[in-house]
Amino acid sequence: MKILTNPILLRFIGVLALWNILFRFSLSYVLENEYWIGAVLAPVIFFLVMYQTGRYFGLKQWNDLPVNMSFTYHLSNFAVFFLVSYGFYFVGLLSKYESISSVNYTLVFWGIGLFVHFLYYRKEMKNSIKGLDRDQLFD
């Protein structure tokens, strides 16, 4: 299934972009104003919101067509987060307390997690036919 022909994934990417922009603005705001508890709460809340958003759209996708697209959703989340983060850096919207190295470290560690997800995803796809579980097809 191609990304541009998948309306659920496109909506997911749009919602991700809005959440990421809101997160970047809120994190920069709490850091600039030295609300240090907010510097801890903002990423935790962001993680929970992103998890629920992914779960909502993933289940919606699964109900539409039971194909494992978890890696595609994870990759989309990764790409949107870093496009927004580096966009904020290049435009100069990051707080003076936020260095680009924190974004770079996040990129490396999340990238490692994404690569591990890709390996598991490829293994799972070898046991399927065009993304559909063989057991579901031949019941």
Mean pLDDT calculated for residue range 129-139: 57
Residue 37 pLDDT: 87
Site of tokens 């987060």:
81
Residue 129 pLDDT: 62
Q: 61: buried, middle or exposed (CB in 10 Å: 19+, 13-18, 0-12)?
A: buried
Q: What is the DSSP letter of 130?
A: T
Reduced to 3 states, what is the DSSP secondary structure of residue 43? Answer: helix
What pLDDT, in 10s, does the model give residues 39-86?
Answer: 899 999 999 999 999 899 988 888 877 677 888 899 999 999 999 999
For residue 1, pLDDT beyond 50? no
Q: Read off the pLDDT band of 20 (50, 70, 90).
A: very high
Residue 86 pLDDT: 94
Q: What pTM does this model have?
A: 0.81
Handedness of CA 35, 40, 77, 89 (dihedral sign): positive
Residue 122 pLDDT: 86
